Amino acid sequence: MQWFADLRIAYKTAIVPLVLCILLVVLGLVSTSSLRSVASGVDVVTQDLGPSMDNLAQITDAMARLQLSVRHYARSADQDSEQQFSELDQRLNLALQQADKRIQDTQRRQMLAEIGRLHGEYSRLFREQLVPISQQRQQLMLNQLDVHGPAVEKILSSVLENAQQDFNLDAVFYASAGMRNLLLGSQYLYQFLQENQPEQVKAFQRELGNAQNVITVLRDRTSSDSSKAKLNQALQTLDFYKAAASKLVLLVQARNDAVSAMDKLDPQIADLAQQLQQHIMQAMQDAARAANATVVSVSQLFWGLVLAAILFGGLLAYGVGSALVRALGQINRMLQDMAQGEGDLTKRLPVHGKDDLGRLALSFNTFVEKIRRTVAAVAQASHTLENAAQVLQLNAKAAAADVEQQRHESAQIAVAMSQVAASAAQMADTAQLAATLSLDARQSANPPILA
């Protein structure tokens, strides 16, 4: 951690805010990433699953409408129904294309492709089988049944009128029976076209056969050549009518087979659509659960990072503060020791780095070293002065002893001198007296010399 010790105090104090800022940035990045994850889950629902459900609903609706149009066309074979089928088919193809663009899941795309394949087969059956068969049936009814049936009826009506005019009861009976059988056969035939029951086929074939038999009997029993010619024409036309009716039955059966094949495709398409819907619903539920789980995990991660940031920031602040306070405390204690006069000038502050406190400790150590040297110099000078004082004290003691001895001797000399002085005084007095006496003598003896 030498790099930390070498940092300046300003940089050290900036570490905690910097780390907290970094942690905030990390929290922001984590939150952004988590929000993007949630947003991607929502996008899956809003941009993939939701539109896919909408497209699937359009497909299901178009398919149901398509089935209704097929049913209506199978009954009527009109151009409007065919046009409606084409429009619905285009709409369904468009919905399938849109769904294909939106759906990304492999399994759902496979189900959608299978729906598209079945729809293609459905459309092919309609265009290649149902439409041609219906057109043939329509043409057969318009060009043959609707022509031959009325023609036979017209001939029989003419024969009946002639028989009534001739009062030929036998011809009236057979002509009426033939018309009745023809009408019943036509009725059963048209019922068959609506209901498609096998009994109706047998019924109209039976009635048409009876009509043919009755017309044959009437022809054989009539004596009129014109009536025979009409009845032969009626029989020939009736044969055409029966052949057209038989062909119509085959066409209806072929149409029913095509419709049955298409009906078999309907539940398959519906089942696949339902499976696809369930799959999308399950995916939406999974996406919702994943979004909820992501929100929970993001919340836990966020608060975990917040707690970790608070704990780490607190520990880092405590560590940085402790390092700063520890160095300042050592400086403070040494200054207190020096202030109280108990400082040990040989102690030094530890220099742990090149930061401000390290430089302060180094300067303080230099300062203390100078003080120590000064104190050492003063102590040395004091020691020298003490030695000189001791020598001076010894010398003073010796001088004092000499002085005392001299004083004693002086006292003795003073006593002696006092005695001498007293003797001298006495001698002076004696001398003074002698001088006085001498002076007096001199004066007495020789007064001028004294002047």
Instruction: Give domain limits for the chain.
Output: 9-302
**Burial class, 25, CB count within 10 angstroms (exposed 0-12 / middle 13-18 / buried 19+):** exposed
Contacts 24+ apart (CB under 8 A), 140-147: 140/244, 140/247, 140/248, 140/251, 141/248, 144/240, 144/241, 144/244, 145/189, 145/241, 145/244, 145/245, 145/248
CATH 3.40.50.11540 assigned to 9-302: no
Q: Which residues, at least 6 apart from 129, have a Cβ–Cβ distance to it below 8 Å? A: 254, 255, 258, 261
Tokens of 271: 């089942």
Q: What's the distance, CA 401 to chain centroid?
A: 110
Tokens 């050290």, located at residue: 12
Question: CB neighbours of 373 closer than 8 A, spacing ≥ 6?
Answer: none
3-class state of residue 389 by DSSP = helix
Round to whole Å and give the CA distance between 208 and 204. Answer: 6
pLDDT in tens, the chain (451 residues): 555 566 666 666 667 677 777 877 877 777 777 667 666 655 555 555 555 677 777 778 878 888 888 888 777 777 888 888 888 888 888 888 887 787 777 887 888 889 889 888 988 988 888 888 888 888 888 888 889 889 988 988 988 888 888 788 888 898 899 889 989 998 998 888 888 888 988 998 999 999 999 989 988 888 888 888 988 999 999 999 999 989 989 988 888 888 888 888 888 888 888 887 787 788 777 777 877 887 788 778 778 878 887 887 788 777 777 766 776 777 777 667 666 655 566 666 666 666 666 777 777 778 777 877 887 787 787 778 777 767 777 776 776 777 677 777 767 766 766 776 677 667 767 767 776 777 777 777 665 544 4
If 0-12 CB within 10 Å is exposed, 13-18 middle and 19+ buried, where does residue 441 land? exposed
CA distance 446 to 198: 226
Q: How many CB atoms sit inside 10 A of residue 68's CB?
A: 14
